Structure 1
Amino acid sequence: MKNVRLVRHGESAANAGAATLDHASIPLTEKGVEQAKRVAQSVGRVPELIVASPFSRARATADATISVFPDAPFETWPIEEFTYLDPTRCVNTTVGQRKAWVDHYWANADPSYIDGEGAESFLEFVGRARSFLDRLATHPAQDILVFSHGQFLNTVAWLIERKPLQIDAQAMIDWRRYEIDNHVPNGCGFVVSRAFSDSLWTVSDSVDIYGAVNLNMLQARSCMP
């Protein structure tokens, strides 16, 4: 059985409501650092591989676990968060200030739309999540620990559970509802697994009451056929 433990980064400055300069270098807050430490304490067994997004908040969260397991192999994969708004117009803005742009983007529901240089389309974003699952399936490591972002992790789970045949406007609307209904808190996550004899992934819940991922207490989450 291949088990992949997926963790969202700890609380970032943007999550806490601060204005940020760019999407890639947002730091963790003090609370986010503590969440990262709790995640590291809950890991339990040495991962065969640790993977992180190139964005600093995910890497900083991963660093807490890397310090506990310094001999575990580490790799950076393109599993960064969905950048669907033009980064240049988002400079020095808060989540609240961007709300109208966010609402307009999702109401438009155009999977191929690109908001500006440095942004990606929903089609491209889903393609990255598909590529991530393909890479996991072929990687020789069987116990993998991944540090990424809320929307990316929800896309991975959505692909597994919804199994969309095409990425059209309706799929985009469904994803948005799914993402809101299945919000992944900072420092929390879930596990996806795949039997050697099966080509299908399954998803399990893995969140404890302290706001950190508890990787040793899993409950099956029902998946759509």
Structure 2
Amino acid sequence: MKNVRLVRHGESAANAGAATLDRASIPLTEKGIEQAKRVAQSVGRAPELIVVSPLSRARATADATISVFPDVPIEKWPIEEFTYLDPARCVNTTVGQRKAWVEQYWANADPSYIDGEGAESFLEFVGRARSFLDRLTTLPAQDILVFSHGQFLNAVAWLIERKPLQVDDQAMIEWRRYEIDNHVRNGCGYTVTRALVDSLWTVSNSIDIDGAVNLNKLQVRSPMP
């Protein structure tokens, strides 16, 4: 059984409502740092591998766990957050100021649309999530801990649970609804497992540090229709 624990980064300055200059260097808040420590405390055993997003808030969250398990190998993978708005026009803006742009993007439901240089399409985003699962499948490591971002984690879970045959406008609308309904809170996440017998991925119940759920003691979620 391959066991992969997926954790969203702790609260960032952007999550707390602050204006930010770029997506890569957004720091954790004091609350986010505390959440990272609580994640580290909830990891009951050393994983065989720690995988981190290239964005600083994910690495800062991972650092608390890395300090507990300093001998565990660390790899940086392209599992960063979905950047669907033109980064240039988002400079020094808050989540609230970007709200209308976000709503318009999802209302258009065009999976191939790219908003500007440095942004990616929904098709590319889903492709990264698929590649992530494919890469996990080929790894010899069986117990892996991943620090990433909310939308990316939900793209992975959506691919496993809904198994979309094609990524068209309807799939994009469906994913957006799924992401809102299954919002991943800071410092929380999912566990996904892959049975060696049938080679199928399964999504387990949420990892929830506020609910005192241990990362290693999760119930398997019922399959979704």
TM range (shorter): over 0.9
Q: In the aligned structure 2, how far is the partner of 1:32 from the partner of 1:211? A: 16
Q: Aligned runs of 1:139-150 on 2, under 5 Å?
A: 139-150=139-150
Q: In the aligned structure 2, how far is the partner of 1:89 from the partner of 1:171? A: 27
Q: Does residue 121 of structure 1 match 2:121? A: yes
1:98 aligns with 98
Structure 1: which 5+ runs fail to align? Answer: none
- CA displacement 1:87-140 (0-9 Å, x = unmatched): 000000000000000000000000000000000000000000000000000001
Which residue identity does 2:170 align to in structure 1? Q
Which residue identity does 1:161 align to in structure 2? E
SS in 1 for 2:144: strand
1:151 aligns with 151
**Percent of aligned pairs sharing the same letter:** 87
User: Which deviates the most, 212-221 or 178-187?
Assistant: 212-221
Q: In the aligned structure 1, how far is the partner of 2:220 from the partner of 2:66? A: 28
SS in 2 for 1:174: helix
Which residue identity does 1:218 align to in structure 2? L
2:28 aligns with 28
Q: In the aligned structure 2, how far is the partner of 1:43 from the partner of 1:199? A: 25
1:179 aligns with 179
Q: In the aligned structure 1, how far is the partner of 2:187 from the partner of 2:209? A: 11
Question: Are the aligned partners of 2:129 and 2:152 in contact in 1 as well (CA < 8 Å)?
Answer: yes
Structure 1 residue 209 displacement after superposition: 5.6
Which residue identity does 1:107 align to in structure 2? A
Which residue identity does 2:19 align to in structure 1? A
Structure 1 residue 212 displacement after superposition: 6.8
Moved over 2 A (4+): 206-209, 211-214
Q: CA 1:20 to 1:192, structure 2 compared with 1: closer, same or farther past 3 Å?
A: same
Q: Aligned runs of 1:69-218 on 2, under 5 Å?
A: 69-208=69-208, 210=210, 214-218=214-218
Q: In the aligned structure 2, how far is the partner of 1:117 from the partner of 1:88? A: 8
- CA displacement 1:156-194 (0-9 Å, x = unmatched): 000000000000000000000000000000000110000
2:65 aligns with 65
Question: Are the aligned partners of 1:22 and 1:87 in contact in 2 as well (CA < 8 Å)?
Answer: yes
1:42 aligns with 42
- Count of residue pairs the alignment pairs up: 225
Q: In the aligned structure 1, how far is the partner of 2:103 from the partner of 2:12? A: 22
User: Which deviates the most, 199-208 or 13-22?
Assistant: 199-208
Q: In the aligned structure 2, how far is the partner of 1:168 from the partner of 1:206? A: 28
Q: In the aligned structure 2, how far is the partner of 1:102 from the partner of 1:5? A: 29
Structure 1 residue 224 displacement after superposition: 3.0
Q: In the aligned structure 2, how far is the partner of 1:212 from the partner of 1:23? A: 30
Q: In the aligned structure 1, how far is the partner of 2:202 from the partner of 2:170? A: 23
Q: In the aligned structure 2, how far is the partner of 1:158 from the partner of 1:185? A: 16
What is the TM-score when the length of structure 2 is the normalising length?
0.98
Q: In the aligned structure 2, how far is the partner of 1:157 from the partner of 1:15? A: 22
